[in-house]
Amino acid sequence: MDISFASAVVILLLVMDPIGNIPLFVSLLRNLEPARRVAVIVRECAIAFAVLLAFVFFGKPMLDLLGLSDSSLNIAGGVILFLIALRMIFKHVEGIFGDTVAGEPFIVPLAIPSIAGPTALATVILMVSRAPDRMLEWVVALTVAMAVTLLLLLFAERISKWVGERGLLALERLMGLVLTAIAVEMLLRGIEAFVRQLQNAG
Separation of alpha carbons 84 and 58, rounded Å? 25
**pLDDT value of residue 88:** 72
Per-residue confidence (pLDDT) for residue 101, from 0 to 100: 53
How many other CB atoms are there within 10 angstroms of residue 93's CB atom? 4
Low-confidence ranges of the chain (pLDDT < 70): 1, 91-103, 202
pLDDT at 103: 65
70, amino acid identity:
D
pLDDT tens digit sequence for 1-24 = 578 999 999 989 988 989 878 877
Q: What is the pLDDT of residue 189?
A: 84
For 50, the domain range is 5-201
What is the pLDDT, as a whole number, of residue 202?
Answer: 64
Total domains in the fold of the chain: 1
Q: What is the per-residue pLDDT for 187?
A: 86
User: Nearest-CA neighbor of 74 among 20, 137, 129, 25?
Assistant: 129
Which pLDDT does position 91 carry in this prediction? 66
